[in-house]
Structures are given as C-alpha cells and as structure tokens.
Amino acid sequence: MNDFSNNGSISRREMLRRSAAGFGNLALLSLLAESGFAQVKPDPLAPKRPHFEPKAKRVIFLFMHGGPSHVDTFDEKPLLTRDHGKPLPFAKPRVQFSTTRNLLKSHWEFTPRGQCGMPVSSLFPQVSTCVDDIAFINSMYGSNAAHGGALLKLHTGSDNFIRPSMGSWINYGLGTENRNLPGFVTICPTSLHGGVYNYGSAFLPAAYHGISLGTPGYPNAPVENAQFRFTKNTRLNRDQQSLQL
C-alpha cells in the first residue's frame, strides 16, 4: 500500500521506481560521475585537505551592519572616559557628511568578567557570563572612514580593488562538504556599500561566489524571506518526508 497514493503527487523515489527503465539511468550516471568513471571535470567545490588540522568545524560570520561601536562593547577606553568632552589631541581626520567634534565617552559601564578579566559593557549581561569561551581581537582597525570602502575592506581585504570575498577564498582553499548546497550563503545582504562585491568571487571562478538568501535591502531587509525556495513540502508531514530519505 502506497502511503502517498492519496496526495495527488508522487515522491522522487516513487517516480524513479516507476520509471526504472528510463530515469533510473540518471542516478547511475550521477554515481559514476562521483566515482570518477564518467567524470568530465573535477568538482571545484570538492572538499580539500587543509595544511593544518582545524579545530573549528563550522563558521557563522555575523556582520552587524550599523552595530554598536567597539568602545561600547568589549574595548574599554579609560583615557577616553578621562578626557570626555575635550578636543582631539591630534589632527582632526577627514570624514564624510559631518564634522569631527570633541571626544565622547561610552554611555555604558565596563566590568571585568570571567577568569580572563575581560572588560564587558553593561550592554551584554548574558555574554559576560561566558567570556572565557570567546576569543576577542582588539588589534584590528580600519583605514577607510567611508562606509562602502570600509565594508569592502572587511569582507575582501581591499577597499580599492575588486577582490574575492572571505567566503570565496575559503571555498577555494578548503572546498565544502555540501554536495547539493552552495558553498556559503549570505542572509539579506545590503544592496549598498559594496553590495554584491562583499560576497562575490571577483577573479575566482563563479563556482566560489556566495548565494544571497532573502531580499537585499538597505538598511535592513525582512529576514523571514531569507530561505531557499521550493525546499518545503506542505503536502507531507515530517514523518512522511523522512520515509523518502
């Protein structure tokens, strides 16, 4: 008895079973290609062995466009608090759309947390409970005051030339274990300040280009639209779909 006979549609496995004399050959060709017997060219996204054994298994890079400043989060500046309201002790830098004013201290209090004694602002009461499990890098800085150039340098390493993005380089060097999924995705990326170049492959092959999920927008796009299309089955429940695996 076919559990799916009353759904008005058939599963992928059922289709292959009924058309074993025809479409079943497609699966055979795919298996032969993977094993190398009928492979035309190597898969550019095939997993590659790294130079060193990695400790991290997965990476989720969270870029908070318009997020709080480092001096309001995990980078306490005692001298900034001391000199609050005073003029800059050096030549005023050139900035866009505004004028450079006096020094401004953080609006939040910092408290040493964890065994490492990392100063954490009062903005993050939950994060302060697990600072010993987090690596903080306070030595990074930017050389471009413009939003577009700063974003490009963060994601590609260059604010003047079109270079491959961080995810593209990782795909190029390590490949991916996702055989039927993109090497990396970006969720609701901004359409300005570099746009597609922030997750593009530049001079690398297009196979290393990132895939955008959701509608690119500025400053924010609805995250609920960030999903792969045509991957949900509304006719079968989870248990019925598991039988197709």
What pLDDT, in 10s, does the model give residues 210-230? 988 877 665 555 666 666 666
Q: Which of helix, strand or coil describes residue 31?
A: helix
Residue 30 in this model has a pLDDT that exceeds 90:
no
The pLDDT value given to residue 1:
46
Question: What percent of the chain is predicted at pLDDT more than 70?
Answer: 75
Q: What is the mean pLDDT of the chain?
A: 81
User: In this predicted structure, which of 20-24, 174-178, 236-240 has the lowest mean pLDDT?
Assistant: 20-24
Question: Which residue do the tokens 């298996």 mark?
Answer: 31
Q: What are phi and psi of 238, to 5 degrees?
A: -65, -40
Give the pLDDT band (50/70/90) at residue 34: low
| pLDDT over 70 at 57, yes or no | yes
| Residue for token pair 């095939």 | 46
DSSP reduced 3-state for 146: coil
**In the chain, % of residues over pLDDT 90:** 32
Least confident piece of the model among 45-54, 88-97, 188-197: 88-97
Mean pLDDT of 103-113: 94
The average pLDDT across 79-85 equals 93
pLDDT of 177 > 50? The answer is yes
Q: How far apart are CA 74 and CA 124, in angstroms?
A: 9
pLDDT of residue 73: 94
Pairwise pLDDT comparison (22 vs 172), residue with the higher score: 172
Residue matched to tokens 């479409």: 23
Q: Residue 148 is encoded by which pair of tokens?
A: 């577009």
Phi first, then psi: give them for residue 183, nearest 5 degrees: -65, -40
Question: Would you state the pLDDT for residue 143?
Answer: 82
More confident residue, 139 or 241: 139
pLDDT class of 62 with cuts at 50, 70, 90 = confident
Statement: the pTM of the whole predicted model exceeds 0.95: no
Statement: residue 239 has pLDDT above 60: yes
Q: Is the pLDDT of residue 96 over 50?
A: yes
Rg (CA), the chain: 25
What is the reported pLDDT for 195? 86
Most confident region among 71-80, 92-101, 187-196 by mean pLDDT = 71-80
Cα 126 to Cα 20: distance, rounded to the nearest angstrom: 56
Question: What are the residue boundaries of the structural domains of the chain, listed by start?
Answer: 1-41, 44-68+143-245
